[in-house]
Structure 1
Amino acid sequence: TNATQFTDTTGAVVHAHGGGVIRVGSSYYWFGENRNADNTFKAVSVYRSTDLKTWEFRNDVLTQSSDSELAVANIERPKVIYNSTTGKFVMWMHKENGSDYTQARAAVAVSDTVDGDYTWQGSFRPPTGTTSRDMTLFKDDDGTAYQITSAAGNADLQIWRLNASYTGYDSLAANPWPGTFREAPALFKRGGVYFMLTSGNSGWSPNQQKYATATSITGPWTAMTEAGDATGYGSQTTFVLPVQGTSGTSYLYMGDRWGNSMGGTVNDSQYVWLPLTFPTNTTMNLPW
């Protein structure tokens, strides 16, 4: 049921805010933010499901005790991809100092197993020194991985190619919408077309979701086009999950209805999950 707090198999609230999903075998693993009462970082929690409905808590894969950098911090939008060359699961996230948003760094942690303890690799900014805040990861069909991040004080949404181990930056692949102030990116590929779904900058309050498309990840990209209603049905995009079925692939919009926008905290947040529809190969609808 949308606009509710989901619960796990024990009845506890699922804390996987700003999250992402990776499929391993027949199971989906949902990673996300789990916060302290003051909204600071408590853990990155992971849950497992085979049907996207029944979620089993697996582990707090990254915690305040994982590294001294995490003792007091903010960790947002953790995303995990698998590197088939190194055999490592690689997590990227947005890292702050726990008191404000001036650090604006990306951070990396790795694990040998999808839901095991992740080893902190450190935090850093992109090679140009620009800020990195809201972000996501995308692994292309050829195995190349990318970080998409709000940069330049959130004015730009940049697409960065990662190195071979996925643990650092290689080069800037594209900066298609400079000065447009988009955040909360989700990138997916359908029928050879790349779709980038984003929100505007309005703090914790929801706003108009927009998307753009390209046939190459380096561009040219289209301008941003509106999707859904004026507030994303009260939610902000965090991830689009391709769901491969027996007769095709569906695409699931995953959004957060932030507790902070309703007088609460991040751990009061609710989830909005919606099936995307595609009138044409390059257009997308976000229906309630």
Structure 2
Amino acid sequence: MRRAYAILLSLCLAVIGALATAGPAAAASQTITNGTQFTDTSGNIVHAHGGGVIKVGSYYYWFGEDRNSDNTFKYVDAYRSTDLKTWEFRNHVLTQSSASELGTAYIERPKVIYNASTGKFVMWMHKENGVDYSEAKAAVAVSDTVDGNYTYQGSFQPLGQYMSRDITTFVDTDGTAYMVSAANENYDLQIYKLTADYTAIDSLVANPWAGGHREAPALFKRNGVYFMLTSGATGWSANQQEYATATSLSGPWTSWSTVGDSTAYNSQTAYVLPVTGTSGTSYLYMGDRWGNSFGGTVNDSRYVWLPLTFPTTTSMSMSWYPEVSVDTAAGTVSGTSATYNTLIARHSSKCADVPSQSLWEAVAISQYTCNSGTNQKWWFKDLGTGYYELMGRGSSLCLQENSSSVTQEDCTGGTTQQWSVVTSGSYVNIKARTSGECLDVSGASTANSAAIITYTCNSGTNQQWTRGT
């Protein structure tokens, strides 16, 4: 009996010990919807705009901007995740009370790097006076822990003479750290070597694209080749992303090459994250779809994350996917391919349309002259139950049936956003799961902007649709 008890006690202690030392649960493949706001584990909106990511142990820590309604600085927020989908809020790591000059300021594009020699986490960011962009300074803060309170070190222009706006940081394989920032009213993009403690500028390494008018830099290294990914300087409005490559940060660098579509799928570069696992390393583009570009504020912004692919060692490609699958354990990032259709009403030959290409929730859908806009393109996402979600290409929001309207809303998977497709001769009826009613152009109107609603299914041509390409 004593021996059996001793064995049982030993097993219990082993289990308790294993639980005490166990890290976070191993990550599994996760699907992330693009062009949306994210929420944390408490259900609050994630504010990590213009941000960057650092991996510490099994966790990815994501830092970014959390602003006031007038876009001035409020916090730099820190979140952590093992799978890049489930984000836990950790701390407001930098606040207005961290330093007097942060009481009214713009703080943009915070990036955190770790100095193995000093044991410090160092945050670099772009700092302005909160009124205009005349200061053009870099700023630094440090912490003993990745998600602790960061101690503000001050702001300055690099080497006492260069403007510094959009920035990024990069730690090379030899431990040398660099900061890249837009200078000379964003016409230059300069690469600086940092001091050994990562808290100051050591020297100017290169200004390879003088006069190029680029901003929003993201720097990463793949198979010995450095990639610099940037946007054009068009304020909050999205534009064509371009990249250059080199085998040395001091150059020579190639000229710019385009990647993605003409607006980077309505986003701007924030960061490129290497995701390393058992199958190798993949590279995740992290972009912001700025709320200011569609009539909101920074805190209304959405996230666009896409896999980067590399046809050759010195070339890069980026395509649109409505969903991205990330497996941090395997180190794989892939996109969900989708076919988008227009919905053309038989009676009017007009398309189901999101008015004014709006990205806002609760916008009522109407019909409008077909024009190939992304606000007239819909992904019929098969739910495997005989029903579909109809997700807009432009907004990444889903069609939802309401009592008197059909609107676009955040995709929830709810039955009010589920539709069946019923063939009717050469046309289809789109039937709402909740009410059983059909998608209908109100009053059989042929006018632009006529409301699209649901109505008792009948043989009317205003309920008959063609799925165009």
Band the TM-score falls in, shorter-chain normalisation: over 0.9
**SS state of the match for residue 51, structure 1?**
coil
Picking from 111, 114, 133, the partner of 2:143 is 111
Q: How many residues align?
A: 288
Q: CA deviation at 1:128?
A: 4.9
What amino acid sits opposite 1:270 in the alignment? R
| 1:197 paired to 2:201 | no
Among 1, 5, 10, the alignment partner of 2:42 is: 10
Which letter maps to 1:98? G
Partner deviation per Cα, 1:21-63 (whole Å, 9 max, x = no partner): 0000010000000000110000000000000010000000000
Hey, what's the Cα distance between the residues in 2 that align with 1:37 and 1:198?
A: 27
Question: What is residue 288 of structure 2 aligned with on the other side?
Answer: 256
For residue 89 of structure 1, what is the aligned residue in structure 2? 121
Counterpart of 2:52, as a letter, is G
Offset, 1:72: 0.6
**What is the DSSP-based 3-state SS (H/G/I as helix, E as strand, rest coil) of the residue aligned with 2:86?**
coil
Q: CA–CA distance in 2 between the matches of 1:98 and 1:128?
A: 21
Q: Say whether residues 1:62 and 2:94 are aligned partners.
A: yes
Match of 2:67 in 1: 35
From 134, 139, 142, the counterpart of 1:102: 134
Aligned amino acid, residue 64 of structure 2:
G
How far apart are residue 263 of structure 1 and its match?
Answer: 0.2
Q: What is the Cα deviation at residue 245 of structure 1?
A: 1.3
**TM-superposed deviation, 1:120:** 0.3
Deviation at 1:152, TM superposition (A): 1.1
Structure 2, unaligned runs of 5 or more: 1-32, 321-469
Q: How many angstroms apart in 2 are the aligned matches of 1:287 and 1:11?
A: 30
Aligned to 1:50: 82
Q: CA RMSD in A?
A: 0.5
1:134 aligns with 2:166: yes
- The TM-score with structure 1 as length reference comes to 0.99
1:213 matches 2:245: yes
Q: Deviations over 1:51-96 (max 9, x none)?
A: 0010000000000000101011000000000000110000000000
Higher helix share: 2
Tell me the residue number matched to 2:263. Answer: 231
Aligned residue number for residue 281 of structure 1: 313
Give the distance between the partners of 1:128 and 1:231, measured in 2 at CA. 35
Identity %: 74
Give deviations 1:233-265, integer Å, cap 9, x for gaps. Answer: 000001000000101100000000000000000
- What's 1:71 paired with? 103
Q: Any idea what SS the aligned residue of 1:38 has?
A: coil
Question: CA separation in 2, counterparts of 1:286 and 1:247?
Answer: 21
Residue 187 of structure 1 corresponds to 219
TM-score, length-scaled by structure 2? 0.61
Paired residue secondary structure (2:97): coil
Gap runs ≥5 in structure 1: none
Aligned counterpart in structure 2 of residue 166 of structure 1, from 180, 191, 198: 198
Separation in 1, partners of 2:222, 2:319: 18
In 2, Cα distance between equivalents of 1:217 and 1:57? 35
C-alpha separation between the residues in 1 aligned to 2:150 and 2:78?
11
Q: 1:90 aligns to what SS in structure 2?
A: strand
Which amino acid is the alignment partner of residue 219 of structure 1? Answer: G
Partner SS, residue 230 of structure 2: strand
| Higher RCO structure, 1 or 2 (CA under 8 Å, sep 6+) | 1
Letter in 2 for 1:233: Y
